[in-house]
Structure 1
Amino acid sequence: MDKKSIAVLKQLFETNEVNNNVIAELRKDERKGVQKLLQRYDREKHKEQVLKQKFAEMCHFEQINYDKGCRYIAGMDEAGRGPLAGPVVAAAVVLPRDFTLLGLNDSKQLNEATRNRFFEIIKRQAVSYGISIVSNQKIDQVNIYEATKLAMYDAINQLDPKPDHVLIDAVNLDNLPCTSEAIVKGDQKSISVAAASILAKVSRDQLMKKIHTEFPMYDFASNMGYGTKHHMDMLEQHGITQYHRKSYAPVRNVAK
Protein backbone atom coordinates (compact mmCIF):
# COMPACT_ATOMS: atom_id res chain seq x y z
CA MET A 1 0.00 0.00 0.00
CA ASP A 2 1.33 3.40 -0.97
CA LYS A 3 2.03 5.61 2.00
CA LYS A 4 -0.62 8.26 2.34
CA SER A 5 -0.13 11.56 4.12
CA ILE A 6 -1.17 11.83 7.75
CA ALA A 7 -3.89 14.30 6.74
CA VAL A 8 -5.35 11.85 4.23
CA LEU A 9 -5.19 8.98 6.72
CA LYS A 10 -6.88 11.12 9.36
CA GLN A 11 -9.71 11.79 6.94
CA LEU A 12 -10.06 8.06 6.24
CA PHE A 13 -10.35 7.34 9.94
CA GLU A 14 -12.87 10.13 10.47
CA THR A 15 -15.09 8.86 7.65
CA ASN A 16 -14.65 5.25 8.79
CA GLU A 17 -13.10 4.23 5.47
CA VAL A 18 -10.58 1.84 6.99
CA ASN A 19 -10.84 -1.95 7.17
CA ASN A 20 -8.81 -4.66 8.86
CA ASN A 21 -6.37 -4.94 5.94
CA VAL A 22 -5.67 -1.20 6.01
CA ILE A 23 -5.19 -1.29 9.79
CA ALA A 24 -2.79 -4.22 9.50
CA GLU A 25 -0.69 -2.32 6.94
CA LEU A 26 -0.69 0.86 9.01
CA ARG A 27 0.63 -1.01 12.04
CA LYS A 28 3.85 -1.51 10.04
CA ASP A 29 4.10 2.24 9.43
CA GLU A 30 6.53 3.71 11.97
CA ARG A 31 5.54 7.34 11.49
CA LYS A 32 4.51 8.88 14.81
CA GLY A 33 1.44 10.48 13.26
CA VAL A 34 0.24 7.11 12.01
CA GLN A 35 0.85 5.46 15.38
CA LYS A 36 -1.15 8.22 17.11
CA LEU A 37 -4.03 7.62 14.73
CA LEU A 38 -3.88 3.90 15.49
CA GLN A 39 -3.80 4.53 19.25
CA ARG A 40 -6.91 6.67 18.97
CA TYR A 41 -8.54 4.03 16.76
CA ASP A 42 -7.77 1.31 19.30
CA ARG A 43 -9.18 3.39 22.16
CA GLU A 44 -12.39 4.04 20.24
CA LYS A 45 -12.74 0.37 19.31
CA HIS A 46 -12.25 -0.62 22.96
CA LYS A 47 -14.83 1.93 24.07
CA GLU A 48 -17.26 0.63 21.45
CA GLN A 49 -16.73 -2.94 22.65
CA VAL A 50 -17.39 -1.91 26.25
CA LEU A 51 -20.59 -0.15 25.21
CA LYS A 52 -21.72 -3.20 23.22
CA GLN A 53 -21.10 -5.43 26.23
CA LYS A 54 -23.00 -3.06 28.53
CA PHE A 55 -25.90 -2.85 26.10
CA ALA A 56 -26.05 -6.64 25.81
CA GLU A 57 -26.15 -6.93 29.62
CA MET A 58 -28.98 -4.37 29.75
CA CYS A 59 -31.06 -6.54 27.38
CA HIS A 60 -31.17 -9.32 30.01
CA PHE A 61 -34.67 -8.66 31.38
CA GLU A 62 -36.09 -8.09 27.92
CA GLN A 63 -34.61 -11.32 26.60
CA ILE A 64 -36.00 -13.35 29.50
CA ASN A 65 -39.50 -12.13 28.69
CA TYR A 66 -39.09 -12.57 24.94
CA ASP A 67 -38.13 -16.16 25.68
CA LYS A 68 -41.38 -16.52 27.65
CA GLY A 69 -43.33 -15.54 24.56
CA CYS A 70 -43.84 -11.83 25.21
CA ARG A 71 -44.00 -9.69 22.08
CA TYR A 72 -44.28 -6.17 23.49
CA ILE A 73 -42.21 -5.32 26.56
CA ALA A 74 -42.56 -1.86 28.08
CA GLY A 75 -40.07 0.02 30.23
CA MET A 76 -41.37 2.47 32.82
CA ASP A 77 -39.66 5.24 34.80
CA GLU A 78 -40.36 8.65 36.30
CA ALA A 79 -38.61 11.96 36.81
CA GLY A 80 -39.20 14.60 39.42
CA ARG A 81 -40.07 12.93 42.72
CA GLY A 82 -37.56 14.96 44.71
CA PRO A 83 -37.85 18.58 43.49
CA LEU A 84 -39.63 21.32 45.43
CA ALA A 85 -41.35 22.65 42.31
CA GLY A 86 -42.87 21.42 39.08
CA PRO A 87 -44.68 18.24 38.08
CA VAL A 88 -43.72 14.61 38.29
CA VAL A 89 -43.42 12.98 34.86
CA ALA A 90 -43.66 9.30 34.00
CA ALA A 91 -42.87 7.63 30.70
CA ALA A 92 -43.52 4.18 29.29
CA VAL A 93 -41.94 2.90 26.10
CA VAL A 94 -42.00 -0.26 24.00
CA LEU A 95 -38.82 -0.65 21.97
CA PRO A 96 -38.42 -2.79 18.86
CA ARG A 97 -36.86 -6.17 19.57
CA ASP A 98 -33.84 -5.29 17.40
CA PHE A 99 -33.40 -1.82 18.94
CA THR A 100 -29.77 -0.78 19.41
CA LEU A 101 -28.51 2.46 20.94
CA LEU A 102 -25.00 2.15 22.33
CA GLY A 103 -24.46 4.29 25.40
CA LEU A 104 -28.10 4.07 26.51
CA ASN A 105 -28.17 4.27 30.30
CA ASP A 106 -29.83 5.91 33.26
CA SER A 107 -30.68 9.44 32.08
CA LYS A 108 -28.94 10.98 35.10
CA GLN A 109 -25.63 9.47 33.97
CA LEU A 110 -25.78 11.10 30.53
CA ASN A 111 -25.01 14.71 29.68
CA GLU A 112 -27.80 16.95 28.43
CA ALA A 113 -26.75 16.87 24.77
CA THR A 114 -26.68 13.06 24.75
CA ARG A 115 -30.03 12.84 26.55
CA ASN A 116 -31.64 15.17 24.04
CA ARG A 117 -30.20 13.22 21.09
CA PHE A 118 -31.31 9.88 22.55
CA PHE A 119 -34.75 11.39 23.33
CA GLU A 120 -35.37 12.01 19.63
CA ILE A 121 -33.99 8.61 18.58
CA ILE A 122 -36.14 6.75 21.11
CA LYS A 123 -39.32 8.59 20.12
CA ARG A 124 -38.61 8.01 16.44
CA GLN A 125 -37.82 4.31 16.71
CA ALA A 126 -40.15 3.21 19.52
CA VAL A 127 -43.01 0.85 18.74
CA SER A 128 -45.03 2.99 21.14
CA TYR A 129 -44.48 5.41 23.99
CA GLY A 130 -46.52 7.39 26.51
CA ILE A 131 -45.57 10.40 28.61
CA SER A 132 -47.73 11.56 31.51
CA ILE A 133 -47.48 14.76 33.57
CA VAL A 134 -48.99 15.12 37.04
CA SER A 135 -49.04 18.66 38.42
CA ASN A 136 -47.62 19.92 41.69
CA GLN A 137 -51.20 20.63 42.82
CA LYS A 138 -52.09 16.96 42.42
CA ILE A 139 -48.88 16.00 44.23
CA ASP A 140 -50.01 18.16 47.16
CA GLN A 141 -53.43 16.50 47.13
CA VAL A 142 -52.43 12.84 47.08
CA ASN A 143 -48.66 12.82 48.00
CA ILE A 144 -45.73 12.26 45.65
CA TYR A 145 -45.79 8.46 45.73
CA GLU A 146 -49.44 8.25 44.72
CA ALA A 147 -48.96 11.02 42.12
CA THR A 148 -46.07 9.07 40.62
CA LYS A 149 -48.23 5.96 40.33
CA LEU A 150 -51.03 7.97 38.70
CA ALA A 151 -48.54 9.23 36.12
CA MET A 152 -47.25 5.71 35.52
CA TYR A 153 -50.73 4.24 35.01
CA ASP A 154 -51.58 7.01 32.58
CA ALA A 155 -48.34 6.53 30.61
CA ILE A 156 -48.99 2.79 30.31
CA ASN A 157 -52.56 3.42 29.16
CA GLN A 158 -51.21 5.54 26.31
CA LEU A 159 -49.32 2.60 24.81
CA ASP A 160 -50.66 1.08 21.61
CA PRO A 161 -50.10 -1.79 21.09
CA LYS A 162 -50.57 -2.73 24.73
CA PRO A 163 -47.58 -4.38 26.43
CA ASP A 164 -47.43 -8.03 27.43
CA HIS A 165 -45.04 -7.21 30.27
CA VAL A 166 -43.84 -4.05 32.01
CA LEU A 167 -40.42 -3.48 33.55
CA ILE A 168 -40.66 -0.72 36.17
CA ASP A 169 -37.92 1.18 37.95
CA ALA A 170 -38.36 0.26 41.63
CA VAL A 171 -42.15 0.81 41.86
CA ASN A 172 -44.74 -1.94 42.25
CA LEU A 173 -47.95 -1.28 40.31
CA ASP A 174 -51.08 -3.32 40.96
CA ASN A 175 -54.03 -4.04 38.67
CA LEU A 176 -52.13 -3.79 35.42
CA PRO A 177 -53.62 -5.57 32.39
CA CYS A 178 -50.36 -7.52 31.99
CA THR A 179 -47.53 -8.96 34.04
CA SER A 180 -44.92 -6.62 35.51
CA GLU A 181 -41.83 -6.52 37.69
CA ALA A 182 -40.12 -3.79 39.69
CA ILE A 183 -36.36 -3.63 39.20
CA VAL A 184 -34.15 -1.77 41.67
CA LYS A 185 -31.98 0.63 39.65
CA GLY A 186 -33.82 -0.61 36.58
CA ASP A 187 -32.67 2.40 34.56
CA GLN A 188 -29.15 0.96 34.79
CA LYS A 189 -30.15 -2.65 34.15
CA SER A 190 -32.77 -2.54 31.38
CA ILE A 191 -32.66 -0.78 28.02
CA SER A 192 -36.44 -0.29 28.13
CA VAL A 193 -36.39 1.33 31.57
CA ALA A 194 -33.36 3.43 30.60
CA ALA A 195 -35.20 4.63 27.49
CA ALA A 196 -38.23 5.51 29.61
CA SER A 197 -36.04 7.42 32.04
CA ILE A 198 -34.73 9.56 29.17
CA LEU A 199 -38.23 10.27 27.87
CA ALA A 200 -39.38 11.25 31.36
CA LYS A 201 -36.39 13.40 32.31
CA VAL A 202 -36.08 15.29 29.03
CA SER A 203 -39.82 15.94 28.97
CA ARG A 204 -39.73 17.28 32.52
CA ASP A 205 -36.60 19.36 31.89
CA GLN A 206 -38.32 20.99 28.93
CA LEU A 207 -41.29 21.90 31.14
CA MET A 208 -39.05 23.35 33.85
CA LYS A 209 -37.28 25.49 31.27
CA LYS A 210 -40.65 26.90 30.21
CA ILE A 211 -41.52 27.63 33.84
CA HIS A 212 -38.12 29.33 34.16
CA THR A 213 -39.21 31.95 31.61
CA GLU A 214 -42.05 32.93 33.98
CA PHE A 215 -39.93 32.94 37.13
CA PRO A 216 -36.28 33.34 36.11
CA MET A 217 -35.18 34.34 39.59
CA TYR A 218 -35.51 30.74 40.83
CA ASP A 219 -33.23 29.40 38.07
CA PHE A 220 -35.51 26.46 37.29
CA ALA A 221 -33.72 25.97 33.96
CA SER A 222 -30.64 24.82 35.88
CA ASN A 223 -31.93 23.33 39.13
CA MET A 224 -35.09 21.78 37.61
CA GLY A 225 -36.95 22.60 40.81
CA TYR A 226 -34.55 20.92 43.21
CA GLY A 227 -33.75 22.68 46.46
CA THR A 228 -30.38 24.22 45.64
CA LYS A 229 -29.01 26.97 47.86
CA HIS A 230 -29.91 29.58 45.25
CA HIS A 231 -33.43 28.18 44.98
CA MET A 232 -33.87 28.26 48.75
CA ASP A 233 -32.51 31.80 48.94
CA MET A 234 -35.00 32.92 46.28
CA LEU A 235 -37.83 31.19 48.15
CA GLU A 236 -36.98 33.20 51.23
CA GLN A 237 -36.70 36.40 49.21
CA HIS A 238 -39.62 36.08 46.77
CA GLY A 239 -41.88 33.46 48.34
CA ILE A 240 -43.48 30.52 46.56
CA THR A 241 -44.97 30.30 43.06
CA GLN A 242 -47.98 28.35 41.80
CA TYR A 243 -45.51 25.66 40.71
CA HIS A 244 -44.10 24.95 44.17
CA ARG A 245 -45.14 21.85 46.10
CA LYS A 246 -46.73 23.22 49.27
CA SER A 247 -46.77 19.78 50.91
CA TYR A 248 -42.96 19.65 50.89
CA ALA A 249 -41.48 20.87 54.17
CA PRO A 250 -38.99 23.44 52.79
CA VAL A 251 -41.79 25.08 50.78
CA ARG A 252 -44.37 24.71 53.55
CA ASN A 253 -42.05 26.39 56.03
CA VAL A 254 -41.57 29.38 53.73
CA ALA A 255 -45.32 29.64 53.09
CA LYS A 256 -46.16 29.96 56.80
Structure 2
Amino acid sequence: MIRPGRGQYGYERALFRAGLSPVAGADEAGRGACAGPLVAAAVVLDPNRPIKGLDDSKALTARQRERLHGEIMARAVAVATVRVEHDECDRLGMHQADLHALRRAVARLEVPPSFVLTDGFPVDGLGVPGLGIWKGDKVAACVSAASIVAKVTRDAIMTQYDEEYPHYGFAIHKGYCTAAHQAALEEHGPCDIHRWCFDNVVRTARVGSS
Protein backbone atom coordinates (compact mmCIF):
# COMPACT_ATOMS: atom_id res chain seq x y z
CA MET A 1 0.00 0.00 0.00
CA ILE A 2 1.26 3.49 -0.90
CA ARG A 3 0.45 5.99 1.82
CA PRO A 4 0.25 9.77 1.35
CA GLY A 5 3.24 11.70 2.59
CA ARG A 6 5.78 9.04 1.72
CA GLY A 7 7.53 11.33 -0.74
CA GLN A 8 8.42 10.90 -4.37
CA TYR A 9 10.05 7.52 -3.79
CA GLY A 10 6.94 6.09 -2.11
CA TYR A 11 5.81 4.23 -5.23
CA GLU A 12 9.21 2.64 -5.90
CA ARG A 13 9.65 1.60 -2.27
CA ALA A 14 6.14 0.14 -2.03
CA LEU A 15 6.65 -1.85 -5.22
CA PHE A 16 10.05 -3.01 -3.98
CA ARG A 17 8.40 -4.31 -0.79
CA ALA A 18 5.89 -6.15 -2.98
CA GLY A 19 8.72 -7.86 -4.86
CA LEU A 20 8.30 -5.74 -8.00
CA SER A 21 11.75 -4.31 -8.55
CA PRO A 22 13.37 -2.69 -10.42
CA VAL A 23 10.75 -0.05 -11.21
CA ALA A 24 10.97 2.13 -14.32
CA GLY A 25 9.33 5.49 -14.89
CA ALA A 26 8.46 6.58 -18.43
CA ASP A 27 7.36 9.91 -19.84
CA GLU A 28 7.53 11.93 -23.06
CA ALA A 29 8.20 15.45 -24.25
CA GLY A 30 6.83 17.18 -27.32
CA ARG A 31 3.39 15.64 -27.66
CA GLY A 32 1.76 19.07 -27.88
CA ALA A 33 4.33 20.56 -30.25
CA CYS A 34 3.47 21.04 -33.92
CA ALA A 35 7.07 20.68 -35.07
CA GLY A 36 9.97 18.37 -34.39
CA PRO A 37 10.16 14.88 -32.92
CA LEU A 38 8.42 13.34 -29.95
CA VAL A 39 10.97 12.13 -27.39
CA ALA A 40 10.24 9.49 -24.76
CA ALA A 41 12.47 8.45 -21.88
CA ALA A 42 12.49 5.59 -19.41
CA VAL A 43 14.49 5.70 -16.18
CA VAL A 44 15.22 3.23 -13.39
CA LEU A 45 16.38 4.94 -10.19
CA ASP A 46 17.96 3.52 -7.05
CA PRO A 47 15.60 4.40 -4.16
CA ASN A 48 18.56 4.13 -1.80
CA ARG A 49 20.37 6.93 -3.65
CA PRO A 50 17.63 9.60 -3.89
CA ILE A 51 18.07 12.63 -6.12
CA LYS A 52 16.78 15.82 -4.51
CA GLY A 53 14.70 18.33 -6.42
CA LEU A 54 13.00 16.03 -8.94
CA ASP A 55 9.77 17.47 -10.32
CA ASP A 56 7.67 17.75 -13.43
CA SER A 57 10.12 19.07 -16.04
CA LYS A 58 7.73 21.88 -16.97
CA ALA A 59 7.83 23.19 -13.39
CA LEU A 60 11.63 23.54 -13.45
CA THR A 61 13.84 26.19 -15.00
CA ALA A 62 16.18 25.23 -17.84
CA ARG A 63 19.14 25.47 -15.46
CA GLN A 64 17.45 23.22 -12.90
CA ARG A 65 16.61 20.68 -15.59
CA GLU A 66 20.17 20.61 -16.86
CA ARG A 67 21.56 20.10 -13.34
CA LEU A 68 19.10 17.32 -12.56
CA HIS A 69 19.67 15.72 -15.96
CA GLY A 70 23.36 15.45 -15.11
CA GLU A 71 22.58 13.82 -11.76
CA ILE A 72 20.11 11.41 -13.30
CA MET A 73 22.55 10.31 -16.00
CA ALA A 74 25.29 9.82 -13.39
CA ARG A 75 23.25 8.06 -10.71
CA ALA A 76 20.39 6.20 -12.40
CA VAL A 77 20.46 2.43 -12.67
CA ALA A 78 19.39 2.66 -16.32
CA VAL A 79 18.24 5.36 -18.78
CA ALA A 80 16.89 5.02 -22.32
CA THR A 81 15.50 7.54 -24.81
CA VAL A 82 13.56 7.18 -28.05
CA ARG A 83 13.00 9.75 -30.79
CA VAL A 84 9.87 9.55 -32.97
CA GLU A 85 10.22 11.83 -35.99
CA HIS A 86 7.56 14.27 -37.15
CA ASP A 87 6.53 12.15 -40.15
CA GLU A 88 6.04 9.08 -37.96
CA CYS A 89 3.91 11.19 -35.62
CA ASP A 90 1.79 12.13 -38.65
CA ARG A 91 1.47 8.52 -39.74
CA LEU A 92 0.56 7.15 -36.30
CA GLY A 93 -1.32 10.09 -34.79
CA MET A 94 -0.04 11.67 -31.60
CA HIS A 95 -1.58 9.30 -29.07
CA GLN A 96 -0.35 6.18 -30.83
CA ALA A 97 3.04 7.81 -31.40
CA ASP A 98 3.18 8.50 -27.66
CA LEU A 99 2.37 4.90 -26.74
CA HIS A 100 4.82 3.58 -29.34
CA ALA A 101 7.63 5.80 -28.01
CA LEU A 102 7.03 4.87 -24.37
CA ARG A 103 7.04 1.14 -25.17
CA ARG A 104 10.28 1.48 -27.15
CA ALA A 105 11.96 3.49 -24.41
CA VAL A 106 11.14 0.86 -21.77
CA ALA A 107 12.29 -1.93 -24.10
CA ARG A 108 15.66 -0.20 -24.56
CA LEU A 109 16.51 -0.13 -20.85
CA GLU A 110 19.66 -2.12 -20.15
CA VAL A 111 18.13 -3.20 -16.84
CA PRO A 112 14.70 -4.71 -17.58
CA PRO A 113 12.07 -3.46 -15.14
CA SER A 114 9.56 -5.59 -13.26
CA PHE A 115 7.04 -2.74 -13.11
CA VAL A 116 6.55 0.51 -15.05
CA LEU A 117 5.02 3.78 -13.86
CA THR A 118 3.79 6.22 -16.49
CA ASP A 119 2.48 9.76 -16.37
CA GLY A 120 -1.27 10.20 -16.70
CA PHE A 121 -2.41 7.05 -18.47
CA PRO A 122 -1.50 3.35 -18.53
CA VAL A 123 0.51 1.94 -21.43
CA ASP A 124 -0.20 -1.57 -22.64
CA GLY A 125 2.27 -3.83 -24.42
CA LEU A 126 5.16 -3.23 -22.02
CA GLY A 127 5.63 -6.90 -21.23
CA VAL A 128 5.44 -6.22 -17.49
CA PRO A 129 2.76 -4.78 -15.18
CA GLY A 130 2.35 -1.01 -15.16
CA LEU A 131 0.38 1.82 -13.64
CA GLY A 132 -0.59 5.21 -15.03
CA ILE A 133 -0.47 7.89 -12.33
CA TRP A 134 -2.25 11.24 -12.39
CA LYS A 135 0.50 13.87 -12.24
CA GLY A 136 3.02 11.06 -12.12
CA ASP A 137 5.81 13.40 -13.12
CA LYS A 138 5.30 15.25 -9.83
CA VAL A 139 4.60 12.40 -7.41
CA ALA A 140 6.81 9.52 -8.58
CA ALA A 141 10.57 10.03 -8.69
CA CYS A 142 11.28 7.74 -11.63
CA VAL A 143 8.57 9.40 -13.73
CA SER A 144 9.89 12.85 -12.81
CA ALA A 145 13.36 11.72 -13.89
CA ALA A 146 12.01 10.42 -17.20
CA SER A 147 10.17 13.71 -17.73
CA ILE A 148 13.40 15.66 -17.23
CA VAL A 149 15.49 13.42 -19.48
CA ALA A 150 12.90 13.57 -22.27
CA LYS A 151 12.55 17.35 -22.01
CA VAL A 152 16.29 18.11 -21.93
CA THR A 153 16.93 15.72 -24.82
CA ARG A 154 14.18 17.19 -26.97
CA ASP A 155 15.10 20.81 -26.16
CA ALA A 156 18.63 20.12 -27.40
CA ILE A 157 17.27 18.66 -30.64
CA MET A 158 15.04 21.69 -31.24
CA THR A 159 17.90 24.08 -30.51
CA GLN A 160 19.92 22.32 -33.21
CA TYR A 161 16.98 22.61 -35.62
CA ASP A 162 16.93 26.34 -34.94
CA GLU A 163 20.24 26.60 -36.80
CA GLU A 164 18.81 24.76 -39.80
CA TYR A 165 15.46 26.60 -39.82
CA PRO A 166 16.25 30.03 -38.32
CA HIS A 167 12.96 31.71 -39.27
CA TYR A 168 10.79 29.85 -36.74
CA GLY A 169 12.39 30.44 -33.33
CA PHE A 170 12.67 26.76 -32.42
CA ALA A 171 15.39 27.48 -29.84
CA ILE A 172 12.86 29.60 -27.93
CA HIS A 173 9.51 27.78 -28.13
CA LYS A 174 10.84 24.31 -29.03
CA GLY A 175 8.15 23.78 -31.65
CA TYR A 176 5.13 24.35 -29.40
CA CYS A 177 2.16 26.33 -30.66
CA THR A 178 3.00 29.76 -29.30
CA ALA A 179 1.88 33.06 -30.81
CA ALA A 180 5.39 33.72 -32.10
CA HIS A 181 5.56 30.28 -33.71
CA GLN A 182 2.16 30.76 -35.32
CA ALA A 183 3.20 34.16 -36.70
CA ALA A 184 6.31 32.55 -38.23
CA LEU A 185 4.17 29.79 -39.74
CA GLU A 186 1.82 32.33 -41.29
CA GLU A 187 4.73 34.27 -42.74
CA HIS A 188 6.93 31.43 -43.99
CA GLY A 189 4.63 28.40 -44.16
CA PRO A 190 5.55 24.99 -42.73
CA CYS A 191 9.11 23.66 -42.92
CA ASP A 192 10.29 20.08 -43.26
CA ILE A 193 9.89 19.22 -39.56
CA HIS A 194 6.34 20.51 -39.02
CA ARG A 195 3.65 17.98 -38.18
CA TRP A 196 0.78 17.83 -40.67
CA CYS A 197 -1.51 16.20 -38.10
CA PHE A 198 -1.88 19.66 -36.51
CA ASP A 199 -4.66 21.86 -37.93
CA ASN A 200 -2.69 25.09 -37.53
CA VAL A 201 0.07 23.70 -39.77
CA VAL A 202 -2.42 22.62 -42.44
CA ARG A 203 -4.15 26.01 -42.35
CA THR A 204 -0.95 27.96 -42.89
CA ALA A 205 0.02 25.69 -45.80
CA ARG A 206 -3.32 26.42 -47.43
CA VAL A 207 -2.87 30.15 -46.95
CA GLY A 208 0.60 30.00 -48.47
CA SER A 209 -0.64 28.11 -51.52
CA SER A 210 -3.71 30.29 -52.17
TM-score (normalizing by structure 1) = 0.77
The alpha-carbon deviation at position 155 of structure 1 amounts to 0.4
Aligned counterpart, 1:140: 90
Aligned residue-pair number = 203
**Structure 1 SS opposite 2:167:** helix
**Offset at 1:63?**
1.5
- 1:195-214 residue CA offsets vs partner (Å, 9 max, x unmatched): 00000000000000000011
Partner of 1:184: 134
- The one-letter amino acid of 1:95's match is L
Alpha-carbon distance in structure 1 between the residues aligned to 2:41 and 2:126? 15
Contact kept? 1:95, 1:126, Cα under 8 Å? yes
The alignment status of 1:57 with 2:7, answered yes or no, reads yes
Aligned to 1:196: 146
Q: How does 1:147-166 map to 2 (within 5 A)?
A: 147-166=97-116
Write the distance in 2 (CA, Å) between the matches of 1:132 and 1:244: 19
Task: Tell me the equivalent position of 1:109.
Answer: 59
Aligned amino acid, residue 98 of structure 2: T
State how far apart, in whole Å, the 2-side matches of 1:163 and 1:186 are.
17
Instruction: Output the aligned Cα RMSD.
Output: 1.4
Give the aligned residue type for 1:235.
Answer: L
String of CA shifts for 1:64-112, please: whole Å, max 9, x gaps: 1011012210001111111110111110000113122221111111110
What CA distance in whole angstroms lies between the structure 2 residues aligned with 1:57 and 1:119? Answer: 20
What is the alpha-carbon distance in structure 2 between the residues aligned to residue 176 and residue 227 of structure 1? 31
Give the unaligned 5+ runs of structure 1. Answer: 1-53
Task: Report SS of the residue matched to 1:108.
Answer: helix
> CA–CA distance in 2 between the matches of 1:132 and 1:174?
17
Check 1:141–1:111 CA distance in 2 against 1; reply closer, same or farther (3 A cut).
same
Q: Look up the match of 1:169.
A: 119
Residues 1:99 and 1:56: Cα distance change in structure 2 (over 3 Å):
farther
In the other structure, the counterpart of 1:249 is 199
Preserved contact between residue 246 and residue 255 of structure 1 (Cα < 8 Å): no
**1:160-185 deviation per Cα after TM superposition (whole angstroms, max 9, x unaligned):** 22000000001221122211000011
Higher relative contact order (CA 8 A, sep 6+): 2
1:205 is matched with which residue? 155
1:237 is aligned to: 187
Distance 2:167 2:6 in 1: 44
What is the CA-CA distance between 1:60 and the residue it aligns to? 1.5
CA distance in 2, matches of 1:251, 1:84: 7
| Residue 56 of structure 1: how far off its partner (Å) | 4.8
State the shift of 1:62 in Å.
1.0
Partner of 1:51: none
Preserved contact between residue 55 and residue 102 of structure 1 (Cα < 8 Å):
no
Distance in 2 (CA, whole Å) between partners of 1:99 and 1:252 is 48
Partner of residue 46, structure 1: none
Residue by residue over 1:12-37, the C-alpha shift from the partner in whole angstroms, topping out at 9 and shown as x without a partner, is: xxxxxxxxxxxxxxxxxxxxxxxxxx
Is residue 227 from structure 1 mapped to residue 143 from structure 2 by the alignment?
A: no
Q: Which residue is 1:69 aligned to?
A: 19
Distance 1:175 1:200 in 2: 21
Distance in 1 (CA, whole Å) between partners of 2:186 and 2:21 is 52
Judge conservation of contact 2:31–2:38 (CA < 8 Å) in 1: yes
% identical equivalent positions: 37
TM-score, normalised to structure 2, is 0.93
